[in-house]
Structure 1
């Protein structure tokens, strides 16, 4: 979807909202590529309920799920221009725009989900959210993106050697492209919505993602081998258009910030349940799950990726602080 096309879609959505918006002084349009019912979608809906209650009905949120307003790269631009008010986005597409987001996108930077939570809930997470401000965005909160692992249509991936020469989809991020190259595979950046057909037609061999995305996208239907290497534990981010933010009073800005913060534990609870349900569904459907692999060679292969992308004092400091977080 081109920016022009998705911009038109967003504007049409704005018109469609006119009727419901009459009940609120301000209706914030929120975008998500995931389907209705997905934890990130439901978390922003929950945020909207909190806002409506706490503002006595003045502030509302309308969530456009399933990439109705475009794929993430397009919606980021729409949000920066103020066409979309709120946007739940993966961290990868921000890597080439906001330097600080590179750090949490590094392979194996987080030792576990608990480690990621400790980092993102603290001072480091606050610093990264603040970095969005210089790019016409307001960082509100981090949601879970789960542990991302490889899946493909051809064979079980039990070691790094099995990845050699495979064509694997990655998000549109230089770090993820270099990660795949360091593991011996050929990286193919593609929008999320194109992955199913690309695997089905043999354009790519596979991709990498978490349990809920692997399941909800239907990718397990065309790529039945899932390897739990957990190379990425990347948080996702909820951002707001700076243009929309500046239209709010300081009191309403505080309401938006607090509602976003209060949606995080709700999202995490839904996420844990969804991960379990998604895993059970793909296993029941016959997917082959490779659970026990030696991650050490994968981790060691990331040295040149870190050397290439962690080049400034800011990034080096962030990496050191993340690694030192217990």
Structure 2
């Protein structure tokens, strides 16, 4: 039991001593404990589990615990989200760093805005302005071109010239699609001819270096050949080769006589090459050509003509449309001596056009 000492007022009091008032009344005697001082109450936050005295570090923990600034913590979370845009790293939130009453922030993903690349605007030159002005002028002229009661343009050759000039200017200006537009009021074959020719020109003028030049030239030739076939039946029928031969092997391959001197009644062959004829497509998908010929002998001395020799129609079929064709005609030299003209007339049985040519023949 703890011993206590009772304190008492020692010394005498005199009459002069003032009677204490309630404000100045002496305190009652206090018991002063003797012995070791009692231990302070244990802090629930620093108390150990076994009830032993906490360490000095535990006592100071509450005094120096840093306060986490709210803005700093929010910034740290945002940095974590930016470094993990797909949510592969999840932050472990505790009650100390995020109170239960705080609303959960929706993670935001930082996306880089991709700006579209604007194409470079080509510089407009005086040449471009001149081309545009010329095209506009021609378009306006053709728009107001006079027409007849049937709606066809008047002065057709001049109108056709303006139409082709307009498309050539469009090709030069780089407007390829417009340059191959069909030209109205022209026959179908001429429209297709013009389109093929413009395709050939546009192909030839291509500046793409990734395409081999030989390929460009091959495509150009293909379009030119197509244009030729489209225009062929509209052109005048032509005999492009007429020759006396001793043998004909095939197209363009003959054995010609060295001279034009023959014996009376001598047998010979006549090679007749044709161009610009018409071919018709058969039901079997083959191209058919047919022509007839008339042979005349005219003596140069007096212009006397022998009776014409009429040859039957000669048909020919081919898997592809021909651009050249020939006839092989067997003849007999006149019995009378002298200088003769051999005149040949060929008629295309489909276009009904006629071509004529002649050779000189001497009978000795």
TM-score range, shorter chain: under 0.3
TM-score normalised according to structure 2 size: 0.21
Question: Which structure would you say has the larger RCO, counting Cα contacts within 8 Å and 6 or more residues apart?
Answer: 1
Q: Which has the larger radius of gyration?
A: 2
TM-score of the aligned structures, taking structure 1 as reference length: 0.23
